[in-house]
Amino acid sequence: MRIGVAGSVATDHLMSFPGHFKDSLIEGSLESVSLSFLVDELVIRRGGCAANIAFGLGVLGLNPILIAAVGADWKEYEAWLQRHRVNTDFVHVSNVSHTARFLCTTDLDHNQIASFYPGAMSEANLIDLAHVASKSGGLDLVIITPDDPQAMINHSEAARALGIPFAADPSQQMARMSGEQIKLLIEGAEYLFTNEYESALICQKTGWSDADIASKVNVRITTHGAKGATVQRKGAPTVSVGVAHERAKLDPTGVGDAFRSGFLAGVAAGLADEQSAQLGSMLATYVLETQGTQEYRFNQSELHGRLSESYGSTHADEIIQALRSTTNFQ
């Protein structure tokens, strides 16, 4: 299955300040602030929803097509993704903007001062999904993840017009999108990925009920944090899957992206919804156990063992066999 992954590519620049921000804030002078903090640690991590999901699909043996806008400064990041089976041939490279960046400084009280620079992501609306589909040999599925809002809507409309099944993953961009924009993004989706809060936000912004949402998409996948995930497919009973057993809890950043990677890899391998969600939950746990969204590693044997531990050997056998038969997973 040829899967397109549309959305953001970004780098996270995370700094640690060995003091307290509050010591530099003077009461009565906050209307005129000029502050500079000498940090003692800088960590740069790869991120962006589309890049994270594409990476996970590549780790599981697929060759996803990344559909994103970046700056000319992304060559090192591109090489990393290519080494993990991600096709970057259709990435739009801006002539004027840098790749998106998240910059965050954290003090000893865990207070944070952060900025997000969208950069080249603002040019994502220049990407033509029809061109990507034509030149890539066709897309069997495209997942539309947080990006420039107009680009997200453009991709949904193009997928509907071209008859390409698509997965809608509005996530944090729903805060910027109107109810009408959310409707345009979601309606007709094969899959809708949200968490509980995002599901409620869709209802609030669109005026749709839960039943209305269910009628607009074929499969609705909702994550519930530590309670696992549910999969609601039209005409089928709701499937509930618990979280995979964790061995450590280091950083939750990117667990949702990893879940989507695993679920869609299961779809590509022809697995049932339950096993797809189990694979998604397992990848989410791998991310939770590591620092960074693209730092997890495993092989067939180890993945089989972890799946068996969480979901039983029968399901683990089915998942690994399906991946072996349909992907380049080793």
Residue 29: inside a domain: no
Catalytic residue IDs: 257
Give the bridge partners for 12, in sequence order: 45, 102
Domain range for 215 is 3-8+49-98+118-326
Residue 88: inside a domain: yes
DSSP state for residue 121 in the 8-state scheme:
G
pTM: 0.93
Looking at residue 306, its pLDDT comes to: 98
Non-local (6+) Cβ contacts of 96 within 8 A are none
Looking at residue 172, its pLDDT comes to: 84
Residue 307: inside a domain: yes
Residue 201: inside a domain: yes
Residue 305: inside a domain: yes
Q: What is the CATH number of the domain that holds 54?
A: 3.40.1190.20
- pLDDT by 10s per residue, the chain, length 330: 999 999 999 998 999 999 999 998 887 777 787 889 999 989 999 999 999 999 999 999 999 999 999 999 999 999 999 999 999 999 999 999 999 998 999 899 988 898 889 999 999 999 999 999 999 999 999 999 999 999 999 999 999 999 999 999 999 898 889 999 999 999 999 999 999 999 999 999 999 999 999 999 999 999 999 999 999 999 999 999 999 999 998 888 899 999 999 999 999 999 999 999 999 999 999 999 998 899 999 999 999 999 999 999 999 999 999 999 999 998
The answer to whether 256 touches 285, Cβ cutoff 8 Å, is: no
Residue 255: inside a domain: yes
Looking at residue 215, its pLDDT comes to: 94
Residue 26: inside a domain: no
What gap in Å lies between CA 262 and CA 289, rounded to an integer?
16
Looking at residue 307, its pLDDT comes to: 98
Looking at residue 330, its pLDDT comes to: 82
Lookup: tokens for 277: 């969600």
Looking at residue 214, its pLDDT comes to: 92
Non-local (6+) Cβ contacts of 15 within 8 A are 39, 41, 42, 43, 103, 104, 105, 106
The answer to whether 244 touches 306, Cβ cutoff 8 Å, is: yes
SS3 category, 18: coil
What gap in Å lies between CA 84 and CA 278, rounded to an integer?
22
Residue 295: inside a domain: yes
Non-local (6+) Cβ contacts of 217 within 8 A are 168, 186, 187, 188, 189, 190, 191, 192
Total domains, the chain? 1
